Structure 1
Amino acid sequence: MMTKFFCVTLLSSFIMVQLIVTSSAVPVQIEEAQAVISTGVNELPADSKLDLAARHKVLLEFEKHFAQFSCEAIKVILVDLKAAPEHIVAHDDKITALKNALDKIKKINLINEPLDPLEVRAATNIIGELISQTNINLVSAVKEHGQLAFELQRFNFFLGEAFDDLIATLTPEERELDAGLVSLHKQYNESDNDEKWQFWIKLWNYFE
């Protein structure tokens, strides 16, 4: 199970990096991803056991990709709202909120490595406030933009797989220590794609 957790996370990180670097949602080369996985599996001892903090850290690696993907979605939604033929006051409010959020996030380093965890968390919280204030479902709001919508859903899937695997590795003692995380996992299983995108914000803040 630990090997599976490592492999899923390795694949996910590789895919997310490729998507963000290209920024044009170019399809990932699956063969390359599989090669990376094979290398990771071969180098991982069969009896290896990451401690709890290390497993948390692996899951936290997804946060920067969450922030980056959210920013791309916000930009797309903003363009769509501005191009809408009908004038709706509610749209004006959302446009203002989206522009303000992007202005704040632009000041945060989300591209150049190494990323500052505190800056990434700041971006996450800005996104969380935006979703809460404007009631925007990022995944559904970009459904007309096929590739981006697909990548958002795929991110949900891979992070969900990694989250499932982490919970599965918990010992009874660790489940007590991470009772809040186990509770969040139950909420995750009961959520849809849009709810998951808002749910991840709760997950990142769990680790504060």
Structure 2
Amino acid sequence: MGNREALLDGAKQCLLEKGYDRTTVRDIATAAGVSMAAIGYHYGSREALLQQALFSSLEDWDAGLQAQLAKLDEPKGPKRFEAIWNLLIDHVKRNRTMWMASFELFMQAQRTPELAEVYAQGQPGATAAMAALATGELEETIDAETIRTVGSVQMALVSGVVMQWMSYPDNAPGPQEIAAGLRGLVATLD
């Protein structure tokens, strides 16, 4: 493995252990077993390296989650809804540091125009994935309106529930409470 790859692996390790803001150049260089100057040579800056490490880690993490979701064999309906939410909640419990990193990425994007642009470019795909998660259909078969409406609401719901599970897991909603809450919200529309 060359220095560039070692730095990327070291930055991924540091993101999980320390988070974005608390990771220093020295931390990354130590984890990678290379000089601090190598970061500038290969990536230009600590921020550029950490951003690449974060996106790479999130892609790997998302691929694992998608593989688990693909294995669900429940047909559409309440049992599939419950199975999806049980899987997501379990994923939050087992991958807390990556969920924190995804929220850190969002916060960093608010402060860095270049990162905000990259983050925004990924949103249509994320919204389509959320629409597929909610409907049980393949992303490529879902129409644009469903992606914009169902996908956006599902993304908001997942983000909010994840934040609750990370902040106060003893009182965070499970699949039954989420379903009951959605039914209650729908009832307010009539």
User: If the length of structure 1 is used for normalisation, what is the TM-score?
Assistant: 0.31
User: If the length of structure 2 is used for normalisation, what is the TM-score?
Assistant: 0.33
Report which of the two structures shows the higher radius of gyration computed on alpha carbons.
2
Question: RCO higher in 1 or 2 (8 Å CA, sep ≥ 6)?
Answer: 1
